[in-house]
């Protein structure tokens, strides 16, 4: 089953949005298979955002993501990668539709509350960066006859 890496960024943790965000993905019907509150090291931040290393905002991005705890998660379900991206909304919260996480809770592009993998390749890479295999759980849900 497809998996994705989602992370409540430091602004979301500071603003007490962990529960709200987990709630949205739980209610949608996806399955939480890994989660932890953690500080991101500078090395991990640079590795995670390596695709942006030539961009002018790279330094700010690394400073921000290492500035306080994040809530890292692995979610499972059919088409969870693209569906989670839809539920997050556009990168710039001012362009994100109401009903999306960024549309409902964000204003600035640098502090946009949530991260989500954008492809199967980045999902695999990011889950590997943030989680050991032993931290990812496999289990059945009693409601799997209706959702997952």
Minimum CB separation of residue 110 from ligand RTP in Å reads 5
- Establish whether 66 is an annotated binding residue: no
Residue 52: active-site member:
no
Among 12-20, 31-39, 111-119, 135-143, the segment contacting ligand RTP (CB under 6 A): 111-119
Q: Does 91 bind ligand RTP (CB under 6 A)?
A: yes
Q: How many CB atoms lie within 10 A of CB 67?
A: 16
CA angle 122, 46, 135 (to 5 degrees): 55
Among 19-27, 113-121, 123-131, 132-140, the segment contacting ligand RTP (CB under 6 A): 113-121
For every residue of 73-123, DSSP letters joined together read EEEESTTHHHHHHHHH--SSTTTSPTTSHHHHH---SS--SEEE--SHHHH
The most distant pair of C-alpha atoms in the chain lies apart, rounded to whole Å, by 48
Q: Does 110 bind ligand RTP (CB under 6 A)?
A: yes
For ligand RTP, the binding residue among 12, 81, 116, 127 (CB under 6 A) is: 116
Where in 22-51 is the site for ligand RTP (CB under 6 A)?
A: none
115, 126, 127, 131: the active-site residue: 115
- Establish whether 90 is an annotated binding residue: no
Write the burial class of residue 73 (CB in 10 Å: 0-12 exposed, 13-18 middle, 19+ buried): buried
- Establish whether 58 is an annotated binding residue: no
Cα–Cα distance between 90 and 88 in angstroms, integer?
7
Which positions lie near ligand RTP, rule CB under 6 A? 52, 57, 61, 91, 109-110, 112, 115-116, 118
Instruction: Pick out the residues of the known binding site.
Output: 9, 57, 85, 91, 102, 112
């Amino acid at each position: 089953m497809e998996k994705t890496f989602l992370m409540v960024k430091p602004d979301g943790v500071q603003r007490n949005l962990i529960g709200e965000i987990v709630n949205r993905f739980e209610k949608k019907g996806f399955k939480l298979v890994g989660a932890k509150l953690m500080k991101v090291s500078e090395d991990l931040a640079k590795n995670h955002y390596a695709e942006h290393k030539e961009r002018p905002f790279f330094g700010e991005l690394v400073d921000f993501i290492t500035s306080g705890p994040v809530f890292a998660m692995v979610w499972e379900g059919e088409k969870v990668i693209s569906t989670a991206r839809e539920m997050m909304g556009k990168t710039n919260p001012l362009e994100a539709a109401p009903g999306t996480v960024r549309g409902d809770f964000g204003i600035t592009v640098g502090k946009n509350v949530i991260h989500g993998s954008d492809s199967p390749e980045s999902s695999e890479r990011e889950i590997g960066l943030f989680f050991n295999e032993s931290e990812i759980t496999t289990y059945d849900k009693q409601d799997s006859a209706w959702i997952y």
